[in-house]
Amino acid sequence: MNKSTVWTVVGVIVAIVIAWVLVNVVFSLLWFIGKLVVVLIVAPIVFVILRSVFARSDDDA
């Protein structure tokens, strides 16, 4: 094995490690954005339900 072959193998290994980390970061970010979108959709619905429940209880009193 000559010197350039060793550096090629090292370069491939480093590239795989960097790609692995980048993919983890991207998927974590996408998961966070997905959860954020779901929260932004569900929160107004829960707010309207809570407001209607408390408005009804005020009318009964």
> Tens digit of pLDDT per residue, the chain (61 long)?
788 899 999 999 999 999 999 999 999 999 999 999 999 999 999 999 999 998 876 666 5
What pLDDT is recorded for position 30? Answer: 98
Please report the pLDDT score of residue 2 as a whole number: 86
Specify the pLDDT at position 56.
78
Cα 53 to Cα 44: distance, rounded to the nearest angstrom: 14
Rounded Cα distance, 4 and 11, in Å: 10
